Amino acid sequence: MLGIAIVILAVLISTPTDAATIYADSGLDRTSWEAVVSGISSDPFDNLLAQSDILDLDSGIQSVALGASGSPTHLVTGDEFQGMLRTAASPAPGYLTITWVFPTAVSAFGADFFDLLPGADVSVEGTFDAGFESFVLTDELGSDTGFFGIVSTTPFTSLRFIANGSVLPPDQFRIDNAAFVPIPEPSTAELLLLGIAALAASRKRKAIQTKGEAR
């Protein structure tokens, strides 16, 4: 029965609905985002992390940079995360993607972004409410700096940053005050109740179907 409950729960939380809700403010104001979330975990990037393709951040997020060209930046210094992105067609140094993997499934993410290069089209991409969704940061912020937050009713475990614009120089952007909202794991009792409810609904549908066929 517990196995059935887990399967039902997985279906319920992975069914795409509407697009994820975006909160963006060029003045770094995150109060609207914070008003609709709770249980926030944060990463102020207080500790130095040397240049590496894989960074284990203090918050439990693992940052993985792929597709390096030249000597790109991917480190934590000066109380900020610093990354460098390039497009596949660009000869400039940079990574093709930087992916943040959360320590657990989350329902929301937000952070302060700085020095985004207009025209480089650095985007936040992931599988949220409407399935795969991509958001160009400078379009959402209307600026090269600001707070960007996302809230999804469909839990997600990672997101990635990618440059897909036409600007040739690499985009060496900075991130501070990253935050995310972990999804509490359901208790065994909750899973059992969910399974029982699903089985009851299934039996009811079968009874109605059998009654209809008898007629």
**What is residue 109's predicted lDDT score, i.e. its pLDDT?**
98
Q: Is 200 inside any structural domain?
A: no
10-residue stretch averages of pLDDT, the chain, 215 residues long: 39 58 98 97 96 98 97 97 94 94 98 95 96 97 98 97 86 97 68 56 62 60
Supply the CATH number for residue 53's domain: 2.60.120
Q: 159 lies in which domain range?
A: 20-182
| Count of domains observed in the chain | 1
**What is residue 10's predicted lDDT score, i.e. its pLDDT?**
40
**What is residue 195's predicted lDDT score, i.e. its pLDDT?**
59
Q: Is 159 inside any structural domain?
A: yes
Q: Is 196 inside any structural domain?
A: no
- Which helix (H) or strand (E) segment is 205 a member of? helix 188-214
Q: Is 154 inside any structural domain?
A: yes
Whole-angstrom distance, CA of residue 12 vs CA of residue 154: 9
**What is residue 8's predicted lDDT score, i.e. its pLDDT?**
36
Torsion angle of the four alpha carbons 164, 168, 170, 176, in this order, in degrees rounded to the nearest 10: -50
Judge contact between 73 and 83, C-beta under 8 A.
yes
**What is residue 202's predicted lDDT score, i.e. its pLDDT?**
62
Q: Is 213 inside any structural domain?
A: no
Q: Is 141 inside any structural domain?
A: yes
Six-digit token string for 145: 């700096």
Q: Is 107 inside any structural domain?
A: yes
**What is residue 80's predicted lDDT score, i.e. its pLDDT?**
98
Q: Using the 8-state DSSP alphabet, how is residue 184 labeled?
A: P
**What is residue 197's predicted lDDT score, i.e. its pLDDT?**
61
Beta bridge partners of 108: 151, 181
**What is residue 184's predicted lDDT score, i.e. its pLDDT?**
86
Please, which residues have CB within 8 angstroms of residue 11's CB and are 6 or more apart in sequence? Answer: none
* Cα 47–Cα 48–Cα 52 angle in degrees, nearest 5: 130
Q: Is 201 inside any structural domain?
A: no
